[in-house]
Each structure stands twice: as structure tokens, then as C-alpha cells.
Amino acid sequence: MISLAKGVLLGKGLQELEKWALSEGQQQFRGRQLHEWLYRKGAKTIDSISVLPKNWRNDLNHRGIEVGRLKVIKNFVAIDGTHKLLIETDDSETFEAVGIPSENRLTVCVSSQVGCPMGCCFCATGKEGLQRSLETHEIVDQVLSIREVMERRPSHIVFMGMGEPLLNIESVLRAIRCLNSDLGIGQRKITVSTVGVINTLPKLAEMSMEILGRVQFTLAVSLHAPNQKLRESLIPTARSYPLETLLRDCYKYFSITGRRITFEYILLDSINDRLEHAEELAVLLAGFQSHINLIAYNPIGDNKFRRPSKKNIELFKSILESKRISVTLRSSRGLDQNAACGQLRRQQYLNVIN
């Protein structure tokens, strides 16, 4: 009999489900039925998959086999239509997922961990540390949950929620494979964001080729500073991962995958948004096959950092463009509902202990 890891169905592909059904003494088409109910109909329990024989459903329940869906305990809706979900795991941990709608797309911002160990000083997630990494089904569930509450099919996925994806590479890549093959979301519409973990970018490239067959998702590397000294002041882990080494690893990733890298840069008022910072950033990335996403800081309830003025944001962008650097200004969404990563979970935590 084929073993079902952790007793969870969600995250398994069609062929895996067909083979598993056969190993259970069922006909192969039962695997196809499971696949349809998991990914198209969004089944949440074994009993809800009514096309399966009742005696098999009873046996699966008795053995602790589960669909693997989680519980949405809060859904905050912003004025602009952004949905922010607080999701609870079977072991009572909580994490966040965000649905960001526009006229032609629905982007789901997913988490890869409960909390984060990276400690970036401008990020709410890092203030609570790391509890654990998420399993593949817990990542896939976020997309299904957003689809359900927003009653709309997600078109784009960004791993920019809670956690550092490169500290959970295998689950993240298996989730990408599932989202691509089973939910029909193209790899080119999926982005994995990382602040950088030493010695992992070449590993990510190699594991991506192994698990996905080909690498088409976008890798987004968070720089947030044009030099090592400033970056260290914002990202504690940068002390052990110099900017020069990070960029060298980015070159290695590009040479293996052939995929252009996106660099993310959060603009913090009077800290990294000055004209000299834009000039320095342009020099740093000159000749690099890349694109820059500028992101205006989303306040997290403290007074340490501020959002730059619209004028400064536009000026920073124009300097990069004048240096022939490909750049996009990403709009902030859901500001009235504390949409910065980790804010909702942190607020829930503080409410509990107080």
C-alpha cells in the first residue's frame, strides 16, 4: 500500500491520487474524483466527498486520513476590496493570507512559515519570531481559502506573506507544483520573495529543476538598501550574508535557470529613499539582468519608520529610470486593515495575552 504522508490529501497531484486509490483497493477513477473534489469543488472533509463509497469514507476517517483544509478564524476586508485572512492550523498556530483584487486579476499573498526568524526591523512578522514552517497543504489551503471568501479564481500567487520561503524550500516548491498542475495557475504568474539565505539560491535553482521540471516562476530578492552597511541596519541576517555574496549567488541562480531576477526595495522615509541611495542602487545593479520593484513602506503601528512622501517616491523611481534601470512602483493595498505582513497575527496574539 502506498503511504499517504501525514495522512493529508491536499497537495497531492492527479497521478499521486490515482496510485493511492489503487493502493487502497479502489479503482483508479476514484483518484480522479478525489482530485476534482479537492481542487475544483474545494472539499473540506472526507465526508463531504459524497461520490466516494461510504464504507471507504468511514475507513479513511477511522484511520485519520484528512483533506487537509484549515480554519479561517478572521476575515478583514479593506475599503479597496483586499481580504486579509487569519488562518488557524491543526496545532493551533495562526498565520495570514491576503487576497488582492484588481479588475483583471486576483493576487494571493501566501505565507510560507508561522512567523519568521529573519528579524527585519521594518517587518511585523519578525517581531514574534519563528514558530514553524508550513506544510505543502497549508500553503495550498491559503489559495483555496481566498478563492472561497472572495468567490473568484486566483490568477497570481506571491510568496510575500509571513516567513522566509528559502527556509522552507521543499514545501514551497511542492506547493508551486500543486498550484500550477492542479489549480491551473501558470508558473509565470507565481513569485517567490526572499530576503536572502546564505548558500540557498543555487540550491533553490537545482531543487526547482528537480521538483518542477522547469523554472518559470519569478524570484524576488529583497535588497532594501544599496550598500552593505545600511542593509545590515535593516536586515540583521545580512551581517552573515554580505551584499556582494548575495549578488554573486543571484548570478549563479540566473546562470542555472535563465530567469531574470526581481529586486525588491522598500522605501523608508529619510533612511533609504534619498537621491544618493537611488544613484548607488543604479550603480549596484548596472548590467544585471533584473527588474526593481519599489514598495512604499506600510506602517506597522510603531513610530520608528515612516512612509515616504509621494514626491520622494516618484523622484527615486525617476532617477532609476534615467539610469536605464527597469523599475515598477508597486501600489500598497489594504492599508486601512493593517495589511503589512504579520500585523493581523500579532494583533490577535496581543489580544490573547492582554
- 63-107, pLDDT tens digit by residue? 999 999 999 999 999 999 999 999 999 999 999 999 999 999 999
Choosing from 16, 66, 96, 264, which is the catalytic residue?
A: 96
Cβ pair 119, 237 in contact under 8 A = yes
In whole angstroms, what separates CA 237 from the centre of its chain?
20
Q: How far apart are CA 126 and CA 144, in angstroms?
A: 26
Q: How far apart are CA 225 and CA 277, in angstroms?
A: 8
What is the pLDDT at residue 298? 83
What is the pLDDT at residue 330? 85
Query: What is the three-class DSSP state of 237?
Result: helix
Tens digit of each residue's pLDDT (9 = 90 or more) over 276-317: 999 999 999 998 888 999 999 988 666 689 999 999 999 999
How does DSSP classify residue 129?
-
CATH topology of domain 5-62: DNA polymerase; domain 1 (1.10.150)
Tens digit of each residue's pLDDT (9 = 90 or more) over 211-265: 999 999 999 999 999 999 999 999 999 999 999 999 999 999 999 999 999 999 9
Tens digit of each residue's pLDDT (9 = 90 or more) over 2-53: 556 679 999 999 999 999 999 999 999 999 999 999 999 999 999 999 999 9
> Which one, of 189, 66, 80, 218, lies nearest residue 138 by Cα?
66
Where does the chain hold its CATH 1.10.150.530 domain(s)? 5-62
pLDDT over threshold 50, residue 353: no
Give the torsion through C-alpha atoms of 214, 167, 128, 243, to 10 deg: -90
Determine whether 280 is an active site residue.
no
If you write DSSP's letter for every residue of 289-354 in order, what string do you get? Answer: SEEEEEEE----S-SS--PPPHHHHHHHHHHHHHTT--EEEEPP--GGGT-STTHHHHHHHHHHH-
Looking at every residue in the chain, the average pLDDT score rounds to 91
Query: What is the three-class DSSP state of 35?
Result: helix
Where does the chain hold its CATH 3.20.20.70 domain(s)? 71-353
Choosing from 109, 120, 178, 341, which is the catalytic residue?
A: 341
Tens digit of each residue's pLDDT (9 = 90 or more) over 198-214: 999 999 999 999 999 99
What is the pLDDT at residue 350? 33
Determine whether 341 is an active site residue.
yes
pLDDT over threshold 90, residue 319: yes
What is the pLDDT at residue 346? 47
Q: Which CATH class is domain 71-353?
A: alpha beta
What is the pLDDT at residue 352? 35
Mean pLDDT of the region 137-166:
97
